[in-house]
Structure formats: C-alpha cells, structure tokens
Structure 1
Amino acid sequence: MKRIREIDALRGFALFGIIMTHMFQGYLASLVPPQYNGFNMFFPVDELSRFMVRNFFVGKFYAIFSMLFGLSFYLILDGKKDASSRKFAWRLVLLFVIGYVHHIHYRGDFLTVYAVFGIILILFRKIPTKIIFVAGLFLALNGPAVLQKGSALFFQKTEAAPQNTGGKTKLELANSYFDLVLEGEYKKLLISNSTAGFINKYNYLKSSGRMWIVPGLFLLGLWVGRRKWHERLEHIPLKRLILVSFSIGMPLVWINFHFSRSNYSEFVQFLGGISKDASNIFMPLFYIGLLLLAYKSNFIGKFIKYLIPVGKMGLTTYVFQSVFGLFVFYGYGLGLLLKLSGTVALGLGLLFFIMQMLFAQWWFSKFKYGPLEWLWRCGTDRTWLSNKLSESDRVSLKFPVS
C-alpha cells in the first residue's frame, strides 16, 4: 500500500497535540482531587497555557487522530473488495493487546478504545457512503447524548444514572489514584489500572460522550476515504476550508468557554456542551486545512515534512510519549507531578517530540516499519517479516531531510 505523505504528516501533527495536552495534564487520567486543583499553576504564564490547552488542544488533536484511524481502515480494507474483514478484526484484537499493556501503565490509554470501537468500521463496510456520513456526523457531534440530555432538560427531570465506581465515591477514587501516582508504587498502580482503571475509563467515555464521538470520527474518516479526498488533496479548496471552519469553530470555542461554567443555568450549560462537541469538529478541520496549506509552501513545507516519519510510526510514537510522561511525573520516575509548572511541562513535551521526530527519521533510514508497527504487522500476518531496508528501498526512500 502506497503511503500518502500528507496523511503521515497530519498524523504526526495530531501526535504533537496529544503529547502537549497530556504533558500539561501531568499524564493524569482521572479527576484531580480538590486539594490539588491548580497543581501545575506556578507562574502567571501558566494561566495562559491552561487557557490555550483547554480551548485549542483538548479534544481537537485526538479528533484528527481518530478520523485518520477511520481513513486507515479504508486504505487497508474498505477500498479493497477482496480484503478480509476477519483479518482486520484480528488486527484489532492485537491492537487491544498492545493497548492493554499500555493501559495498565497509563489508564488514559486510547488504544483499547480504538480496538473496541474499530468494530463499527467492519459493521459499516457494506453501508452506503451517504449513510456513513450522516451516521458519522450524528455520532461525532455527540448526538445520542445531546438527545438524552435535551429530553431530560425539556420534558422530564430525571436523576442521572449513578456511575459504577466499585462502591467508592468519585472523590475517594480520585484521591486513591492521585496518591498512587505520587507514591510511585509500581505494582499497586498496575493493579489499580487493570481494575478500577477500566471502570474509570468506561465512566469517562460515557460522561464525556466519547463513547459516541470516537466511532463517529472513525466513520467520518471512512467517509473521507470513500470520497477519495486523500487521492485528490491538490483539489481541496484549502483556503475556503480554513475560512469556513475558522468562522464556525472560533465562535463555538468562545460559546463553550463562557457558557460551560457551573454558575450558569442547566440550559446554558447544555448549549455550552453542544458548542464544545461541535468545536471539536470544526477546529480540527481548521488545523487540517492550515497544515495541508503549509505543506504546499516551499519554505514552511520543509519543516512540516519533518512530521512525516514520526507520523508513519504513529503507534510507537504514541506509546513512547506515555513512557516519557510517566517517567517525568510519576513517583517511580522523577516524581515531578507537583513540582513542575504547566508551561515548563509543555516545553518538555515539545523537546521530547522533537527528539521523536529525529529518532523516527533515523529509524526509517534503516528500517521499513516502526518498532511497534513491525510487531503489529508480524502478528497480523502471523509470520516474522523482515524489517530491514534493502538497497532498492534505500534508493526509493526520499524523506525530506537528510
């Protein structure tokens, strides 16, 4: 399968946003206990960093990554009539195994989520393209949750169904997890993540709406593949895409920022929630348009193309970002969770991402696939594949930097 460099660059860009988001959050994946609110607010600039991350990073970059996952399904399976759905299902099983190992270390893992929700792509393989778009947009906008909340708000007052917390309050669970992170008891963290961590993940997916949003983004990515936009990137009116998505996305960000606060009425907060989910569609489109336009630039494009190798090994990049974050913040590493400014954490994330770009470029000068990508491919094909580049591969390999 011929790789599309712009797609790899977009994936690398999404991974940049993901590590920046997680670094600012201290690689926590749970509620922050009240006594630790503002744990990374050391300097006035940290307030600005928090504003930027909350409004322009959270929910935006993972949306790009998720849509690209759906597009990858098209490139691997849906665009090939003779390709086996069973093989893709096995690929998802292996992804879940990799994700499980990742999850027991970092309960914010999304590989297991992708593996489970990826099944919807198989189920929609034979569905007409128009239905895929409508269903994808409805789910990506958190339609089921909006209908449920709207119904409860306007027609009947119902108490929210209690979350499954294993008999403990959410505050007790948050305190327990935060203490484990600070103390750095590795074995206890593994046990907690493999038990309470999955309950926490389910509750988060349900309360945040990502239980619907992630499959919706997958379907939108599949729709992009069906429409073959990835093959016609030069024909996309990028300036119009940028203008329209920005004109819609920025007001939605503003509405969410102002109206999602607890001191507003339930109806106003309801509107704020809708605007948040909608902004997480339009702002990613704005980012995608900007990056693709920059990619075409003779000057800026040279720097954008550094994202290609790191995006090509997206699985490896994502997992090792977690390894770095856990080492920096958790007690069994450097234990800097309560000692690091949020802005400084962003700086460390940026430096590590630059190192990942350089490593990825070096790696692909010698190997065909990223380390975890190679293992995943071997497992999918159930055979050990050669990963070393042949001389012909080296000649044809033309990454933008030497």
Structure 2
Amino acid sequence: MKRIEEIDALRGFALFGIVMTHMFQGFLASIVPPEYIGFNIIYSIDHVSKFIVEQLFVSKFYAIFSMLFGLSFYLILDQKKHASPAKFAWRLILLFIIGFVHHIHYRGDFLTVYAVFGMILILCRKLNNRIILILGLFLAFNGPEIIIKTVALFSKPIPRSELILLKNIRIEEARRYFDLIIGDDYLKLFISNSTVGVINKCHYLLISGRLWVVPGLFLLGLWIGRKKWHENIHKLNLKKLIRITALFGFPLIGIYYYFAVTPYSKLGRFFGYIAKDAANIFIPLLYICIVLFLYKLRVTQNVIKQFIPVGKMGLTTYVAQSVFGIFIFYGYGLNLLLELSGTMALILGLFVFILQVWFSKWWFKLFKYGPLEWLWRCGTERKWIPNNINK
C-alpha cells in the first residue's frame, strides 16, 4: 500500500506539537502540587509561552494524532473486505505492550489508551457512515460529559467538605509523585507508575473527558477515510475550511480563557468547559487545513515535507521524545525540572525535534521502517521481516 505523504506530514506535525507541549510541562503528566505551581515560570517571557502552549498546543495536537489513528484503521482494515479483524486486534495488543513499557517510565503515555480504545473501532466496523459520523461528533465534542454537567447544574451540589477531601487526596498523591520525579530512585518511580499510575490514568481519562473524546476522534478519522478525503485532498476547498475553523476556533478559545481567568458562576464554568472541548476540535481541524494548504503551495511544500520522515516513524519518534524528556527532567537523569524555564524547555524541544527530523531522514536512506515500527510489524506478522532498504 502506497503511503500518502500528506498523512505522514500531518502525523509528523502532530508529533512536533506533542513534544513541545510535554517539554513545557516538564514531562510531568500530573497536576502540580500547590507549592510547585509556576515551577517553570522563571522569566517574564515564560508567561507568554505558558499562554501559547495552554491555549494553542494542549489537547490540540493529540487530537490530530487521534484522528489519524482512526484513518489508519480504515487504511489497514476497514477498506479491505477480507482483512482480518483478529490480526488488527493482535496488532493493538502488541501496541498495548509497547505502550505499557512506555507508561511505567512516563505516565503520560497514550499508546496504551489507543490500544484499548482501538478495539472500539473493530466493534464499529459494521456501522454505516451516518452513524459513524453522528457518534463520532457526539463523543469528540465530549457529549456524554456535557449531559453529565447539565444534570449537575440542576442537582444538589456535593457538600463542600467532600470536595475539599477529594481535592486534598489528589494533592497528596501529586506531591508523592512529584517527589518521585525529582528524586533519583528509579525503582520507586517504576513501581508507582506500574500501580498507582495506572489508576490515575484511568481517573484522568474520566475527569478530562478523553474517555469519550479519543474514541470520538477515532471514529471521525474512520469516517474521513470512508469518504475518501485523504485521496481527494486536492479537491478540498482548504481556504474556505481554514476560514470556517478559525471563525469558530479562536472565539471558543477566547470564551474558555475568559471563564478560566475570571471568577464565574457554576453556569459560567459550564459554558467555559463546553467552549474548551469545542475549541479542541476546531483548532486541530484548522491546523490540519493549514498544513495541507501549505503542502499544496510550491513555496512552502519543502518545509512541510520535513515532517514526513518523522511521521513515517511516528511510534519511534513519540517514544524517543519521552526518553529524552525523562533524561532531561527526572531525578535519575539531569534533574532539570525545577531549573529549566518553560521557554528554554520549548527551545530545547524544538532542537530535539530537529534532531529527530535529521535522524529519520538518515534512517530511511537505509531502512524501510522505523525501529519500533519494524519490531511492531514483525510481531504483527509473527515472522522476521527484512528491513534493509536493499532487500
């Protein structure tokens, strides 16, 4: 199956945004204890960097990655009448194993999440396009959480004492985890990630809404594949799509930001979160349209093509980013979590990504698949697959 360059470029672009987000956050994957809030705000410019990352990066690039995962499902399984769902399920099991090894070192891993939610795609394979689209939109816009929050508006509020207790429990757990991050005891962190970290990840998926959003994005990616948009990119009116997504996306960010920094009522908080979830769909769509538009322009096409090699080895690139981040920030590495400003972390993240672009270009001159992609493919096929470009 011939690879689609634009899809690889989008995947590489998403990985750029992901590493920049994680670098600014110090690869924490946790709430920050009160005494460490603002740990990466050292210089005045860090406030600007924080605003940009929080409003334009957080939750935006993983959304692109998630939609591309759904599209990949279509390319691998859904478009092929006689393709084996069992083989795809085995592929997801292997992804879960790779992800769990990643997770016990970095709690922010999303490979395990993709592996579990990917099974939903197999179950939805027989649904028609209209149901896929409706269900995908409902979940991607965090519809179940909107219903829950709507009911909560008219329900008896949880006693303040219980809320304070729950908050204190979360803060204490965050303190323990933060201490492990800045400590140098690898074994303790390993054990924590393997036990408490799994529970915390499940809790995060629920409270963040990603329990619904990720499967929804998968389904939208599947729907895009079924509509053959990836084969007819040249026919899309990208300028119009850019205007539409920007027209919705940026005002939604403004609405959420207003409610995030201004004291507001329960109703105001409700609308603020709805705006946030909606922005996390429109802004990624805007980014996708911009990247595809720039790819079509002769003057910028070569710039966008730089994302293709890292996109082709997306699994390797993603895991390698975590290896670097852990080494930079964690106590058993260079322990720079409390030393590096957010802006400097972003500059360092850009440097890392440029190195990954260079490495991936070099790699694909010699090999067909990225290192982890090759192992994953061998495991999926259950046989040794030659990777040398000359074989």
CA contact (8 A) 1:262 1:269 kept: no
Count matched residues.
Answer: 389
Cα distance in 1 between the residues matched to 2:325 and 2:255 = 32
Match of residue 108 from structure 2: 108
The alpha carbon displacement at 1:157 in A equals 3.8
**CA displacement, residues 332-373 of structure 1 (integer Å, 9 cap, x when unaligned):** 111000000100000000000000000000000000000000
Which SS does the other structure have where 1:184 is aligned? coil
Which SS does the other structure have where 1:169 is aligned? helix
Amino acid in structure 2 at the alignment position of 1:77 = L
The alpha carbon displacement at 1:169 in A equals 1.3
CA contact (8 A) 1:138 1:216 kept: yes
CA contact (8 A) 1:368 1:389 kept: yes
**CA displacement, residues 180-225 of structure 1 (integer Å, 9 cap, x when unaligned):** 1101211111000000101110111111000000000000000000
The alpha carbon displacement at 1:90 in A equals 0.4
The alpha carbon displacement at 1:156 in A equals 4.7
Cα distance in 2 between the residues matched to 1:10 and 1:280 = 17
With 88-97 and 290-299 compared, the bigger mean Cα shift is at 290-299
Cα distance in 1 between the residues matched to 2:233 and 2:376 = 29
Cα distance in 1 between the residues matched to 2:262 and 2:151 = 20
Cα distance in 1 between the residues matched to 2:261 and 2:202 = 24
The alpha carbon displacement at 1:262 in A equals 7.0
Match of residue 355 from structure 1: 355
CA contact (8 A) 1:328 1:336 kept: yes
Which SS does the other structure have where 1:109 is aligned? coil
The alpha carbon displacement at 1:303 in A equals 1.1
1:72-221 aligned at under 5 Å gives the runs 72-157=72-157, 169-221=169-221
Match of residue 333 from structure 1: 333
Cα distance in 2 between the residues matched to 1:157 and 1:329 = 40
Which SS does the other structure have where 1:288 is aligned? helix
Which SS does the other structure have where 2:332 is aligned? coil
The alpha carbon displacement at 1:154 in A equals 2.7
**CA displacement, residues 131-184 of structure 1 (integer Å, 9 cap, x when unaligned):** 000000000000001101111103554579x89x99x81111101000011012
Residues 332 and 132 (structure 1), Cα distance of their counterparts in 2 relative to 1, 3 Å cut: same
The alpha carbon displacement at 1:389 in A equals 0.7
Cα distance in 1 between the residues matched to 2:18 and 2:49 = 15
Cα distance in 1 between the residues matched to 2:150 and 2:296 = 44
Residues 159 and 309 (structure 1), Cα distance of their counterparts in 2 relative to 1, 3 Å cut: farther
Match of residue 396 from structure 1: none
Match of residue 388 from structure 1: 388
Cα distance in 2 between the residues matched to 1:126 and 1:70 = 15
Tell me whether 1:296 sits opposite 2:296 in the alignment.
yes
CA contact (8 A) 1:66 1:217 kept: yes
TM-score (ref. length: structure 2): 0.97
Amino acid in structure 2 at the alignment position of 1:37 = I
Cα distance in 2 between the residues matched to 1:2 and 1:365 = 17
Which SS does the other structure have where 1:260 is aligned? helix
Amino acid in structure 2 at the alignment position of 1:92 = L
Match of residue 273 from structure 1: 273
Q: Structure 1: give runs of 5+ residues left out of the alignment.
A: 392-402
Amino acid in structure 2 at the alignment position of 1:388 = N
CA contact (8 A) 1:260 1:268 kept: no
Q: Structure 2: give runs of 5+ residues left out of the alignment.
A: none
Tell me whether 1:56 sits opposite 2:56 in the alignment.
yes
The alpha carbon displacement at 1:255 in A equals 0.4
**CA displacement, residues 6-36 of structure 1 (integer Å, 9 cap, x when unaligned):** 0000000000000000000000011100000
Which SS does the other structure have where 1:339 is aligned? coil
Residues 159 and 223 (structure 1), Cα distance of their counterparts in 2 relative to 1, 3 Å cut: farther
Cα distance in 2 between the residues matched to 1:174 and 1:110 = 19
Tell me whether 1:18 sits opposite 2:23 in the alignment.
no
Which SS does the other structure have where 1:299 is aligned? helix
Cα distance in 2 between the residues matched to 1:53 and 1:210 = 19
Cα distance in 1 between the residues matched to 2:118 and 2:156 = 34
CA RMSD between the two structures? 1.7
The alpha carbon displacement at 1:266 in A equals 1.0
Match of residue 4 from structure 1: 4
Which SS does the other structure have where 1:190 is aligned? helix
Cα distance in 1 between the residues matched to 2:238 and 2:79 = 25
Tell me whether 1:231 sits opposite 2:216 in the alignment.
no
The alpha carbon displacement at 1:313 in A equals 0.2
Which SS does the other structure have where 2:298 is aligned? coil
Cα distance in 1 between the residues matched to 2:294 and 2:125 = 33
CA contact (8 A) 1:9 1:311 kept: yes
Amino acid in structure 2 at the alignment position of 1:202 = C
CA contact (8 A) 1:261 1:269 kept: no
Match of residue 258 from structure 1: 258
Match of residue 400 from structure 1: none
CA contact (8 A) 1:152 1:158 kept: no
Match of residue 287 from structure 2: 287
